[in-house]
Structures are given as C-alpha cells and as structure tokens.
Amino acid sequence: MRRTFLRRLWSFAARRFRELAAIATALGIAGALWSERKALLDFDWRLAPRSFVAAIALFAVAPFVQAVSFWLMLRLLGLAARLDEALLLWMRSFLLRYAPSGALQLVIRIRERRRFAASKQDVWLVSGYENLATLCAGAFVCVAAFALAGGWPPLLAVVIAGVALALAVAARPAFFRRWARALLARRGLELPSLLRGRELALVILLNTFGWLTTGGAAYLLMRALVTHPNVSPVWLTAVYSFAWLLGFLVPLLPGGLGLRDGALVALLASRIGAVPATAVALALRVAATFDELLAIGATEAVYGALRLLGWTEPLPPIEDAESPGFTPR
C-alpha cells in the first residue's frame, strides 16, 4: 500500500512539475526575504542601472552554457539528440532543482527521454556526468580564484576539488571498466558507453566558462548596490563559487536555499559588513533565480515559435523504451 501511494505521489509530481517548482521557488525566496527583513530595511539601497542591466545579462549565460553541455554529452555518448529538444528538456528539468533532493529532475528526464532516443540507463549516465562536470568546474574555479585573489582557499574547497578530480579520472573508460565490469555483470547490467577523458575535460571547460560569466555578473550586481565595494571580481567569484559548492553538496536543500546564502553572507561580511552582505546575498539569489526563469521562458518561447513556423521537425511517435524493439542508439 505504501509503495502504491509513493508511486501515485511520484506520478503526480511528474505531471505537475512546473507548478511544484514555481511554488518551491517562491516559498524559498519569500522565506529568505522574511528571515532577513530587518537587515533589508536597514540597508541604504541604491541601484546603478548600467551595472544592474549588465549583471542580469551575464547571469542568463550560465543556464544556456549548462544546457549546451548537456546536449554535447548526449552527442558524445552516441545519442541522437537534437539541440532544440535537448535544451528544452534541460531547461524544464533545471526548473525542478528547487524540489528537495532534485529527484524530480530525473522524473522529467526519464519521462521525456524519447526526445533524444535514450533508455533509462542513458538518462542516469548523462545526469551523473552532468553533476560530475558541474562539480569539477565549480570546485576548480573556487580554488583557482582564491589563489589568484592572493589568499588560501578553504580546506573544504581543496578537499572537494581533490575528490572531484579523482572522480573525473576514475570515470574514464580505462579506469571505470577495470573495477566496474565485475560489479555490473553481477547485477546483469550492460557496461555503458562512457565519455573519454578529453571529452569530459571539454565539458568541464565549457562549464568553467559559465562560472566566469557568473562571477562577473555577481560583481556587477554588487557594484550596482554597494558604493565602492572593497572586493575584487576574482575574490567575489571565489566566495560565490564556494558558497555554491556547499549548497550543491547538500541534496535535501532545494537549490542550496539557506546554506548557500548563509555561507555567502558570512564570507562577504568580512569585507563589506553584515548588513550590506545580507542584502547583496539576497539580491544575488533573486537576480540569479530571475535570470534562470528568464532563460527557461526564452527557451520555451523560441521552441514554440520554431514549431509554429515549421522550422523544427516534430518528434517521432512515442515508443516504449523498455520494449524489445526500442533501439536507443
């Protein structure tokens, strides 16, 4: 009975993923604003229009970079993925990261896997590579930015970067097949296609570019709010990426809400004071979320327009990915 209830709940969540994601996002941001309402009222607000507009534009780059990385990995794994379909699916699943544990991201990807003719195993594999590449890029940028800013990175950031690098090396076919062949064989699983080392490095490099634009956006937004901030773009990129790492590694927090913002406030307060740090951290959260929703909306709008104009082909008929006649590659 419990299993039936969970299955129905899972099905409901898959059908209503947009509504659930929107509610979770609104509640998370509203809670963050309410908890820091005193600091927000005490802050001497200002807004430099040019810096603000430039920050909004740069924040919108990272979601598209990650979506293109997702499509690139699908192609490198031998899946027949169209760019428009891959971007649309990634944006829809990205919206669901505000749901606790991120499980709904896999729900929509598995449900819509026909968009790139994939099996469930393919979805799990590419999602795993995506998380690994994202973690590597964030950790490497964090450690490098702290070093370039002239300071020591937090020990936790160094540990995370080391673990991420070890996982990236272990995921290479030469290493993975050596220790995983027997494990998979005992479970009756076929050894999957894997990204080669240089292919994974390419995806990590692409995600690193997304981090550079995000760091620039964070700095421009701070300049739009704080007069003469006592921080450099490199240092702000370092602390922002470190706060993101903390939120990324705690799966039960939707989108890192709470932990990421609290860590960012603590790090910024050492340079600009507690009240401005709180205001800037919340402004960064709101701006980043707004741009993510803007990127998702733009993708949906462009995809709909292309379909309406007949410039993109419709998907083939739905097939059961588990049936004998289904060929994912």
Q: Which of 278, 256, 255 is nearest to 266 (CA)?
A: 278
Q: Does residue 157 fall inside a structural domain?
A: yes
Identify the DSSP state of 98.
G
**Angle between the N-to-C axes of helices 120-148 and 155-170, in degrees from 0 to 180, rounded to the nearest 10:** 140
> Do 21 and 289 form a contact (C-beta atoms < 8 A)?
no
Q: Would you call 45 exposed, middle or buried from its count of C-beta atoms within 10 A (0-12, 13-18, 19+)?
A: exposed
**Tokens 């479970």 map to which residue?**
187
Q: Is the pLDDT of residue 237 over 90?
A: yes
pLDDT tens-digit readout, 254-305? 555 567 878 888 888 888 887 788 888 888 888 888 888 888 889 989 988 8
Residue 327: which pLDDT band, with cuts at 50, 70 and 90? Answer: very low
CA 251 – CA 102 distance, rounded (Å)? 7
Residue 216 pLDDT? 93
What is the amino acid identity at position 199? E
Q: Tell me how crowded residue 56 is: count the other CB atoms within 10 A of its CB.
A: 18
- Closest of 102, 120, 100, 99 to residue 110, by C-alpha: 120
Answer yes or no: is 170 within a domain: yes
Does residue 107 surpass a pLDDT of 70?
Answer: yes
Inside any domain, residue 316: no
The answer to whether position 318 is within a domain reads: no
Question: Looking at 85-99, 142-156, 160-174, 306-320, which range is the least confident one?
Answer: 306-320
Select the highest-mean-pLDDT range: 21-35, 36-50, 55-69. 55-69
Burial 3-14 (b: 16+ CB within 10 A, else e): eeeeeeeeeebb
Confidence of residue 241 (pLDDT cuts 50, 70, 90): very high
Mean pLDDT of the chain: 79
Q: Which two tokens stand for residue 57?
A: 């534009």
Residue at 99 is within a domain: yes
Read off the amino acid at residue 9. Answer: L
- Cβ neighbours of 134 (radius 10 Å): 20
Residues near 91 by beta carbon (within 8 Å), at least 6 away in sequence: 63, 67, 295, 296, 299, 300
pLDDT confidence of 63, banded at 50, 70, 90?
Answer: very high
310 pLDDT tier (thresholds 50, 70, 90): confident
Above 60 in pLDDT, residue 318? no
Residue 173 inside a domain? The answer is: yes
C-alpha span between 224 and 30 (Å, rounded): 22
Q: How many domains, in total, are found in the chain?
A: 1
Query: CA-CA distance, 155 to 157, in Å (whole number)?
Result: 5
Q: What is the domain extent for residue 186? A: 33-309
Kindly state whether residue 192 falls inside one of the protein's structural domains.
yes
Confidence of residue 16 (pLDDT cuts 50, 70, 90): low
Task: Give me the mean pLDDT over the 174-185 stretch.
Answer: 65
Cα separation, 42 vs 23, whole angstroms: 28
What is the pTM assigned to this prediction?
Answer: 0.78
| Count of alpha carbons within 13 angstroms of residue 172, beta-carbon side | 13
| pLDDT of 58 strictly over 80 | yes
Question: What's the confidence (pLDDT) of residue 182?
Answer: 61
